[in-house]
Amino acid sequence: MLENATTQTVEVPPAPRGDGLLELEHHYTPRQKKSVLPTMYDLAKLGFFLFGFPKNGFVSIDVSKECNLRCKHCYFFEQDFIDSELDVDMWIDKLEALKRTSTMKEFPFMQCTWVGGEPLIRKDLIERGRKYFRWNTVVTNGTIPLPNWPDVNWYISIDGDEALHEEIRNKKGIYKRAMQNLKDHPNLQVTIAFCITKQNAHCLERVVKDWYEAGAGHISFDFYTPIETIEEPMWLPFDERDRVLDQLIALKRIYQDFFIIPERVLRLMKQDICKSVTDHCMFSTHSTSFGPTGAVKEKCMMGPKADCDRCGCVVPFYMASLTDRQLIVEDAVRELRFAAKRAASGVLTALVG
């Protein structure tokens, strides 16, 4: 039994702990939703479900060719263009030109993910450029104070528990610094993005627990995608990945909305089905990724050297999950069942109490 924010006592549906999937104790208190009304993004998701994705509705921009870290698994510095970048005015000219050649229906463009290098090294580009998009996501390593932009979805990338994160990222003190950055901005929507590799898969539970307890809004997961020129040992083979996905499903059933991705995304990432998603990658066909020079990258934001057959990026699976009607209905039924169990448990507690 747990106390939630409105003092109602609720029973968390038991997670499938079978086969020793989880080792730590997890305590989850349902958070109050800010509003019961659907957000604009909820409505957009309904649109994707009904009509599919708009072509070129999604853009990613490599904000800077610089980063204040050098992580072992970084794809960014393996690309060929990284010795130059557009200045901010040139980027704005480029976005203005796109606006001029777009129809009223297309503009503002749907969604932009601002990545890097480290995007907060050039805050001024995002400051000026984000008005061209309905929704903006900034993916940062969390070491630079977050600007107070409540309209942005923030992602802080984390690569393990404290020790491993700092080993992979070659810098001491940055785990706690990212956590402090989160705590200093309770008004911002911050999601933790955990990239799972062979080296850090064992600390998955610890990372989920740490960041839930630190007050992050959500957590999201990718698996490391091999890049031709980076050493292989970081890639988690499919059998091991399936087991980690089972762990994630067990954790999702405990942490519910703290996991930003629906359970069906995790099922789509399993080896028996993942290739059917990546062979028709919607991230590649429905988005445009710009490198720091403004040139369009092949494939996706990871560039032409990314290995699609072993892709662990959550985006194509998430996009597939928004249009796969059967999986959406199955997830909705499961969530309704959980909600009914919680409501019944609340009534029972009130009667007994």
The footprint of ligand SF4 (CB under 6 A) covers 67, 69-71, 74, 76, 116-118, 141, 225, 278, 281, 283-284, 299-300, 302, 306, 308, 311, 313, 315-316
Alpha-carbon Rg of the chain, whole angstroms? 20
What is the torsion angle, in degrees rounded to the nearest 10, for the CA atoms of residue 165, residue 269, residue 302 and residue 139? Answer: -50
* Cβ at position 2, least distance to ligand SF4 in Å: 35
* Cβ at position 311, least distance to ligand SF4 in Å: 3
**Nearer Cβ to ligand SF4 (122/253):** 122
* Cβ at position 262, least distance to ligand SF4 in Å: 18
* Cβ at position 67, least distance to ligand SF4 in Å: 3
Contact 198, 235 (CB under 8 A): yes
Q: How far apart are CA 45 and CA 51, in angstroms?
A: 10
The backbone torsions φ and ψ at residue 133, rounded to the nearest 5 degrees and listed phi first, read -130, 145
Tokens found for residue 270: 């399993």
| 3 state SS of 15 | coil
Q: What is the DSSP letter of 127?
A: H
**Nearer Cβ to ligand SF4 (137/225):** 225
Contact 131, 98 (CB under 8 A): no
**Nearer Cβ to ligand SF4 (15/144):** 144
* Cβ at position 119, least distance to ligand SF4 in Å: 9
Q: How far apart are CA 76 and CA 341, in angstroms?
A: 45
* Cβ at position 75, least distance to ligand SF4 in Å: 7
Q: Is the alpha carbon torsion for 284, 288, 291, 296 positive or negative?
A: positive
* Cβ at position 296, least distance to ligand SF4 in Å: 13
**Nearer Cβ to ligand SF4 (225/288):** 225
For residue 43, how far is the Cα from the chain centroid? 19
**Nearer Cβ to ligand SF4 (10/320):** 320
**Nearer Cβ to ligand SF4 (85/118):** 118
C-alpha distances (whole Å) from 279 to each of 205, 285, 311 are: 31, 11, 10
C-alpha distances (whole Å) from 262 to each of 116, 197, 235, 256 are: 27, 21, 23, 9
Contact 191, 154 (CB under 8 A): yes
Contact 55, 105 (CB under 8 A): no
Angle of helix 314-323 relative to helix 40-51, nearest 10 degrees, comes to 70
Q: What is the DSSP letter of 24?
A: S
**Nearer Cβ to ligand SF4 (283/290):** 283
* Cβ at position 160, least distance to ligand SF4 in Å: 13
* Cβ at position 153, least distance to ligand SF4 in Å: 17
**Nearer Cβ to ligand SF4 (30/200):** 200
**Nearer Cβ to ligand SF4 (74/249):** 74
Q: How far apart are CA 103 and CA 235, in angstroms?
A: 42
